[in-house]
Structure 1
Amino acid sequence: MRLVIARCQVDYAGRLSAHLPPATRVIMVKNDGSVLVHSDGGSYKPLNWMSPPCTLREGVADDGVAEWVVSATKSDDTLRIRLEEVLHDSSHDLGVDPGLQKDGVEKHLQELLAEHTSALGVGMSLVRREYMTAIGPVDLLCKDPAGASVAVEIKRRGDIDGVEQLTRYLELMNRDPGLRPVRGIFAAQEIKPQARVLATDRGIECVVVNYDELRGIDDPSLRLF
């Protein structure tokens, strides 16, 4: 991973356009090729980013200011970063990450829903588990009966943080022309009212799943082999 702290201006152009005026920020270039721009606030959500596959070209603008241009491979989206003053620039080998370890019930719930996607909706089919984005894996990537992509985030207890997490995944995934449009399903054994309101406002479907019923479907004692 490469970490750069710099006074920079950032412009994103593509399906959406966004401008960040000059300020001191942290730029992260990950080994998977993703580029993320963070401020000192706003928790863990980047101000702007480009998810892989993409290419990073370092150069100098006409006025002599160092400039990075990050271009998406599958679209015309570009992220242009003008580095007016670099305060820090370092690279670090983080090695192989073992990934997030879910608790037993939540992990098993993910496995059960991957095997029995009909619990999420009629005609739903699994594409893959742990679909990786630039900020982490979404639990399930599915297809609905019309062939549209569906991102599923699974929790034991669904609260606002889980909805926010799925919202960030959807923002990233909808930048990929090979996936979009991507809609979201927030699945949990229990979903708090505030989380349901927020999810509905953001166009995310809420599905309450019964863990015991799913376990019954998958009960090894009912199998012939």
Structure 2
Amino acid sequence: MVVEHLDAPDPESVVEATKAAVRDGAMLTVSANCQVEYEGRTSGHLGRGDRILVAKPDGTFLVHQPTGHKPVNWMPGGGSVSARVSEGEAVLLARRTNPSERVEARVHEAYAVTRFDATDGATYEESGTEAEMHEYIESNPAVLEKGLRIVEHERETKYGFVDFYAVDEEGTPVVVEVKRIQATLNHFDQLQRYVSLYEESNGEVRDTEVERASIANGEAASDVRGMLVAPSASERVKRALRDNGLEFVGLSEFETDAKGSMEAKLSDF
């Protein structure tokens, strides 16, 4: 393992260190005051500020601001990173061809450059999977609602598998859809389809305990509630659920900053 650090490097030293890291397959971090330009599917500009630039051997390039865990600009792996001196300043450029994109960081002042010849062959193993969420809910239905009782787990329908059929304290059937990541509008649509299917079939599960529980409590079995369960949801998703008579239950104990939580789309916010 090799770690090399330069304090207050001049533009030529930043460029030389970047080229050497790219050539040798090393990680590089640059602490700098810089501005960033993006061109590709859209275009963007980030004015001057203190940031950390990260270049990885697979072509990944990240621009981190002092706050927040996500990069403000980035280029995924599969591209290339290069460096040059332009008008007396170091310029780092990450680009790829499919799709055609580029992120260019102009370094006005470099505070430090660190090269890290890292090796890491470990495989990430995530705990708290969706299956574990299912087990947790099945063993502890009260975490969703007091008095809720699970009737059936993973019932197959023409739209896919419904995670849980349950019944509440009043005997009303509850369709429960569970998601491991932040709830999205796609998840809302999926729950809505399952609830609609139940309503259209006039209670497809009437031969199950759901029907018997409803009758015992004097409730109409055709009434059904829809419940989306996830670690979190944006206000837009929660509003869509409320507007359509559906519900959201957050299980924050399963929330994580790991890779799965990044699957939410910009359209879900």
Larger radius of gyration: 2
User: Is the aligned partner of 1:195 residue 2:233?
Assistant: yes
Aligned residue for 2:61? 35
Determine whether 1:86 maps to 2:110: yes
* Mapped contact 2:90–2:106 kept (Cα < 8 A): yes
Residue in structure 2 matched with residue 15 of structure 1 by the alignment: 41
Q: What one-letter code is carried by the residue in structure 2 that aligns with 1:90?
A: T
- Structure 1 residue 119: deviation in Å? 2.6
Q: Give the count of matched residue pairs.
A: 144
CA distance in 2, matches of 1:196, 1:9: 30
Alignment of 1:1-150 (within 5 A): 1-41=27-67, 43-61=68-86, 63-92=87-116, 93-103=118-128, 106=131, 119=160
Call closer, same or farther: CA 1:120–1:84 in 2, change over 3 Å: farther
Q: Distance in 1 between matches of 2:59 and 2:239?
A: 32
Whose helix proportion is higher, 1 or 2?
2
CA displacement 1:84-125 (0-9 Å, x = unmatched): 11111112215124314223653697xxx9xxxx6379xxxx
Q: 1:54, CA displacement in angstroms?
A: 1.0
Distance 2:239 2:71 in 1: 22
Q: TM-score of the superposition, structure 2-length normalised?
A: 0.43
The 8 Å contact of residues 40 and 100 in structure 2, kept in 1 or not, is answered as: yes
Q: What secondary structure sits across from 1:77 in the alignment?
A: strand
* Alignment-mate amino acid for residue 81 of structure 1: A
- Higher normalized strand content (fraction of residues): 1
Structure 2: give runs of 5+ residues left out of the alignment.
Answer: 1-26, 135-153, 163-177, 192-226, 241-245, 249-269
Q: 1:86 to 1:196 in 2, by over 3 A?
A: closer
Counterpart secondary structure, 1:46: coil
Contact kept? 1:2, 1:89, Cα under 8 Å: yes
Moved more, 30-39 or 89-98: 89-98
Structure 2: distance between partners of 1:29 and 1:193: 32
Instruction: Report how far residue 2 of structure 1 moved.
Output: 1.8
Verify the 8 A CA contact 1:34 1:49 in the aligned structure 2: yes
Q: Which moved more, 1:51-60 or 1:86-95?
A: 86-95
Cα-to-partner distance string for 1:48-96 (whole Å, 9 max, x where unaligned): 01112211111111x1211112111313211111011111111221512
Q: Does the 8 Å contact 1:27/1:35 carry over to 2?
A: yes
Equivalent residue runs for 1:143-222 within 5 Å: 154-155=179-180, 162-163=182-183, 185=187, 190-191=228-229, 195=233, 197-199=235-237
Instruction: State the Cα RMSD in Å.
Output: 4.0
SS at match of 1:106: helix
What is the distance in 1 between the residues matched to 2:106 and 2:92?
Answer: 6
What is the TM-score of this pair, normalised by structure 1? 0.51
Shift of 1:184: 5.7
Change (3 A) 1:74 1:193: closer
Runs (5+) with no aligned partner, structure 1: 122-152, 167-182, 209-225
